[in-house]
């Protein structure tokens, strides 16, 4: 056994270091499993062996661990996955802290579950409160570690509920100065912070442990999945304490789907919106006379001190808006989560800071997964600032950018397709996903222009007519001089718009003539973008543009 593993065993609870873990199933080998008293049938309505629900999952599913390794940038042997970061905290304390003997150090106000986990395990608690600016009292922490035999230091960065981050230098100093104390940093909100993760400090600091969650930035709070990141000697001991089957198959499948390659572009787009909204709230809330202080934040929430606590709560209650009350920990203080733009509009309207009747952006997301393609799309019909497209086909990416640019909409789109065969499935399925997203964003189409009409380009002219009628119809006239532009087959141009018409529910008519295939295809895409611009634009009224009263 290496010296590292001897070190971890020395600081762990002896009973954990000595006992043999329960034998849980490892990665599937494709064998005929007659070893675990399982049913050979999957539950209805899935067919036999289809869902895999009848088989116990691996303690740490290999495909999911590989995906988390890529997400967090550390080897899979440095990761323990459990039912939320809360379970990782529990398992860490159960592994290393003897009840009524070992102590943990906490810097309140911080993540409330630190106290709960320590008390449940029977660990003593040493507290070093944050200073008046809600920063870590670095000298106080160092002195407390000298005066007490502390087994685990429990920190949170960005800190909950104050939103500020901890100095990387300070964490590194704690690790080096206290080699037999575990330095735990909860990074539940690190995706929102410019500071970045401390995971790069782990190789040089074997006693550093990080916890991460998929509940915040990745929207999986209801799935319950979180992880501990640490050196393998710590992870291996924690795996002894972790239940044998902590990751249900539906959780495994939900996480894999949510973290698919195509979905990451949408996560990134959402994160940018989140940060912009955080900045907007930080700028707007100080104007409210019911608020005394707004604190800066690196997280997806904002801490505030109320000038009139009762009046603030009454005003928000009238609009049925709930915020987190922290007065039992910090007198007069509340925490507000940063929501979607329309949710933040409601908050600001409730506080009298904006007009409640302001129009919401029309946004939508669409995810399409088949055996040939994995696609995510996010559109914003009212904000053209965000355009990020990646299909693996450079020319196609450029054409999709033309639609976004000339229609005046924001478009985030990522497609992972079977390009090793050809481009057909990627182009077709992208059109179907984009059309579905546009249809959702348009909603009931109240106030839109509905119709859009000609795109000249060098020697080429494309005549495009669009009717957002709800009824798919498509006509195309034009002969391309060559069969392809790069890897993009010319025949896929009309096929793209036919598929778009189908999923959008629109009449699209294109008539193109020219001498250059590149110019002709580009004119078609630009023309459709230009035709969409007046069709999706909203006028001063909210009338449905149809004598039927519905589209």
The predicted model gives 74-78 an average pLDDT of 97
Which of 440, 441, 434, 379 is CA-nearest to residue 410? 379
Q: Are strands 103-106 and 150-156 parallel, antiparallel or unpaired?
A: parallel
Q: Residue 1's pLDDT is what?
A: 37
Q: Name, of 51-60, 462-471, 540-549, the range with top average pLDDT.
A: 462-471
Model confidence at 348: pLDDT above 80 = yes
Q: Where, residue-wise, is CATH 3.30.230.40 in the chain?
A: 364-536
Q: How far, in Å, CA of 58 to CA of 28, rounded? A: 7
- CATH architecture of structural domain 3-20+61-260: 3-Layer(aba) Sandwich (3.40)
Per-residue pLDDT tens over the stretch 350-408:
999 987 655 678 999 999 999 999 999 999 999 998 899 999 999 999 999 999 999 99
Which residues face 369 on adjacent strands?
374
User: Would you place residue 2 in the very low, low, confident or very high pLDDT band (cuts 50, 70, 90)?
Assistant: very low
Parallel, antiparallel or unpaired: strands 363-369 and 373-380: antiparallel
Other CB atoms closer than 10 Å to residue 547's CB: what's the count? 5
Unique residue bearing structure tokens 């009292």: 137
Question: Which residues fall within 8 angstroms of residue 357, CB to CB, at 6 or more apart?
Answer: none
* Calpha distance 81→65 (Å, rounded): 8
pLDDT digits 0-9 by tens, 492-523: 999 999 999 999 999 999 999 999 999 999 99
309-332 average pLDDT score: 95
Domain 265-350: give its CATH code: 3.90.1150.10
Which residue from 475, 464, 473, 448 is spatially nearest to 536, judged by alpha carbons? 448
Task: Round to whole Å and give the CA distance between 98 and 12.
Answer: 9
Domain with CATH 3.90.1150.10 in the chain: 265-350
Q: Which helix (H) or strand (E) holds 462?
A: strand 460-467
Residue 482 has which token pair? 């060559």
pLDDT at res. 18: 80
Strand order in the sheet with 373-380: 363-369, 373-380, 410-417, 387-390
Residue 116 CA to its chain's centroid (Å): 27
Class of domain 364-536 (CATH, top level): alpha beta
**How far is Cα of residue 308 from the mean position of the Cα atoms in its chain?**
35
CA 271 to chain centre: 7
């Amino acid at each position: 056994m290496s010296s590292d593993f001897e070190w971890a065993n020395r600081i762990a609870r002896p009973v954990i270091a000595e006992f043999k873990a329960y034998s849980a199933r490892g990665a599937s080998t494709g064998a005929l499993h007659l070893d675990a008293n399982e049913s050979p049938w999957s539950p209805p309505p899935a067919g036999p062996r289809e869902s895999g629900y009848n088989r116990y999952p691996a303690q740490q599913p290999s495909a999911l661990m590989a995906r988390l390794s890529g997400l967090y940038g550390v080897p899979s042997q440095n990761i323990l996955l459990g039912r939320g970061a809360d379970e990782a905290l529990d398992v860490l304390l159960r592994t290393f802290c003897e009840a009524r003997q070992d102590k943990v150090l906490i810097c309140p106000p911080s993540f409330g579950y630190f106290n709960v986990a320590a008390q449940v395990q029977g660990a003593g608690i040493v507290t070093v409160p944050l200073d008046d600016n809600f920063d870590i009292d670095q000298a106080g922490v160092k002195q407390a570690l000298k005066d007490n035999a502390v087994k685990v230091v429990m920190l949170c960065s960005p800190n909950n509920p104050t939103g500020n981050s901890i100095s990387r230098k300070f964490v590194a100093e704690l690790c080096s100065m206290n080699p037999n104390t575990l330095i735990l940093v909860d990074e539940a909100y690190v995706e929102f912070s410019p500071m970045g993760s401390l995971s790069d400090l782990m190789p040089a600091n074997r006693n550093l442990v990080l916890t991460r969650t998929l509940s915040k930035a990745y929207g999986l709070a209801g799935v319950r999945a979180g992880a501990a990141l640490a050196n393998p000697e710590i992870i291996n001991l924690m795996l002894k304490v972790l239940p044998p089957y902590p990751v249900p198959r539906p959780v495994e499948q939900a996480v894999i789907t949510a973290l698919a390659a195509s979905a990451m572009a949408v996560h990134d787009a959402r994160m940018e919106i989140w940060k912009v909204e955080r900045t907007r709230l930080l700028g707007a809330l100080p104007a409210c006379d019911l608020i005394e202080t707004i604190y800066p934040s690196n997280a997806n929430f904002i801490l505030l001190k109320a000038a009139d606590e009762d009046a603030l709560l009454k005003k928000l209650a009238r609009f049925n808006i709930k915020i987190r009350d922290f007065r039992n920990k910090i007198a007069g203080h509340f925490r507000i989560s940063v929501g979607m733009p329309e949710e933040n509009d409601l908050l600001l309207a409730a506080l009298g800071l904006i007009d409640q009747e302001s129009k919401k952006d029309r946004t939508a997301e669409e995810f399409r997964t088949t055996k040939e393609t994995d696609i995510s799309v996010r559109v914003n019909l009212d904000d053209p600032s965000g355009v990020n497209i990646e299909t693996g086909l450079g020319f196609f990416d450029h054409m999709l950018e033309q639609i976004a640019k000339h229609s005046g909409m924001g478009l985030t789109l990522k497609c992972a397709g079977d390009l090793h065969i050809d481009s057909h499935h990627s182009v077709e399925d992208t059109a179907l996903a984009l059309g579905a997203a546009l249809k959702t964003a348009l909603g009931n189409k109240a106030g839109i222009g509905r119709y859009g009409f000609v795109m000249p380009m060098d020697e080429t002219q494309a005549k495009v007519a669009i009717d957002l009628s709800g009824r798919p119809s498509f006509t195309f006239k034009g002969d391309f001089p060559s069969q392809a532009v790069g890897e993009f087959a010319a025949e896929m141009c009309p096929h793209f718009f036919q598929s778009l018409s189908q999923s959008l529910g629109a009449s699209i008519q294109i008539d193109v003539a020219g001498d250059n295939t590149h110019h002709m295809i580009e004119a078609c895409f630009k023309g459709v973008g230009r035709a969409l611009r007046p069709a999706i634009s909203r006028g001063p009224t909210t009338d449905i543009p149809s004598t039927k009263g519905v589209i």
